[in-house]
Structures are given as C-alpha cells and as structure tokens.
Amino acid sequence: MKQVTKKRIEQTSLLAGFLFLALITFPALLQAQTNNWNAPASANQLKNPLAGNTTVLKEAKKLYTTNCGPCHGNNGKGDGIAAAALNPKPADHTSAAVQKESDGALYWKMTEGHTPMPSYKQALTDTQRWMLVNYIRSLAKRK
Ligand code: HEC
C-alpha cells in the first residue's frame, strides 16, 4: 500500500474513533448535568409485598428517622441536618416528582444508592426497604 493512502486511512479511523467516543460520552455528560437519577424500567415491575399496609408505618418511621432523617429530614422534605453540605441535595420525599415514581423505582433507589446517598442493600432488609416505600407514600398524604 502506498504511504499516503495508509496515512489517510489512519487519519480516518482516528476521526471515527473520536466521533464514536463523543457519541458515547455525550449522553453521559447530559445525564450528569441535569442529574436525572432514573431507575431502570425493570424496577417498575417489582411488586411491593406490603402494598397498602399501614400497620408497618410505626416501625418504618423509626427506621426513617434513624437512617434517612439526617439527610432527608424527619418529615421527608429534604431538609435534614446534613442536607446543606450535600450536592446534589437530598430528594424531597413529599414532592410530586418523588411521589409519581413507582414503588419499585423507590425501592430500587434505596437498594442501589447514588452518591452521596448510600446503598441500603446490606444495611436494611428487603422488608425494611419496602416498609420505607410505604412510609414515603404516607409523607405525601400528610402534607
Ligand atoms: C447521606 C445522605 C442521605 C441519606 C442518609 C439518605 N439519602 Fe436518600 N438521597 C440522598 C440524596 C443526595 C439524594 C438525591 C440523589 C440524586 O438525585 O442523585 C437522595 C435520593 C433519594 C431517593 C430518590 C428520590 C427520587 O428522586 O425519586 C429516595 C427514594 C431516597 N433518597 C430514599 C432514602 C431513604 C429511604 C433513606 C433511608 C433509608 C435515604 N434515602 C437516606 C441522600 C441521602
């Protein structure tokens, strides 16, 4: 192959490589900027084994105050004692944006966490996390 042609091919593939990288990173950058923390669609399929159960709320409130209150505030408004120092800010659990999420999505978010929010996969049992989903629901009604 002639030297010039070879160089052309090298340049073209380099350009293609950059374009490919740009295509991959651009959506990630957008996501970081708008800070949309979305649960995967599969999370919406998770069935809440405690759906509609209000007897767990007393216990859930204790769990919430201990584990979530420092950031989300004991009333879930996102105004816990540590909130001011955090970026992004803790979600307001009484807000329409959070309430419109499915039970499964809320459960998934507690399970996975999202810096600075920790994952509760180990710290809380499945049942405790579903109890907290019900508790978050109760916060909307109390507004
Ligand atoms: C260290 C502070 C911190 C603690 C503790 C914490 N969170 Fe969070 N939480 C956050 C932050 C910050 C966000 C927003 C993350 C984002 O938007 O990227 C968040 C977001 C969430 C969301 C997502 C809301 C939405 O947008 O749909 C849920 C659900 C949630 N937290 C539940 C909980 C529960 C339940 C607990 C207690 C078991 C808890 N969090 C403990 C900081 C915390």
Domain count, the chain: 2
Same domain as 68, residue 14 = no
**Cα 37 to middle of ligand 1, angstroms:** 10
User: Residue 31: pLDDT band by 50, 70, 90 thresholds?
Assistant: very low
45 with 78, same domain: the answer is yes
- The mean predicted confidence, pLDDT, of the chain is 89
- Helical segments of 35-125, H only: 57-67, 69-72, 96-99, 103-112
Specify whether 58 is located in the same domain as 121: yes
Q: Are residues 21 and 54 in the same domain?
A: no
Query: Do 130 and 91 belong together in one domain?
Result: yes
Spell out the residues 6+ positions from residue 64 whose beta carbon is closer than 8 angstroms to its own.
72, 74, 76, 132, 135
Out of 26-35, 44-53, 97-106, 114-123, pick the least confident. Answer: 26-35
Task: Looking at the structure, tell me whether residues 94 and 126 fall in a common domain.
Answer: yes
If asked whether residues 50 and 99 sit together in one domain, one would say: yes
DSSP state at residue 2 = -
- With a Cβ cut-off of 6 Å, ligand 1 is lined by 35, 37, 67-68, 70-72, 82, 86, 88, 90-91, 98, 101, 106, 109-110, 114, 116-117, 120, 132
> Structural domain of residue 19, as residue ranges?
1-34
pLDDT tens column, 32-70: 444 589 999 999 999 999 999 999 999 999 999 999 999
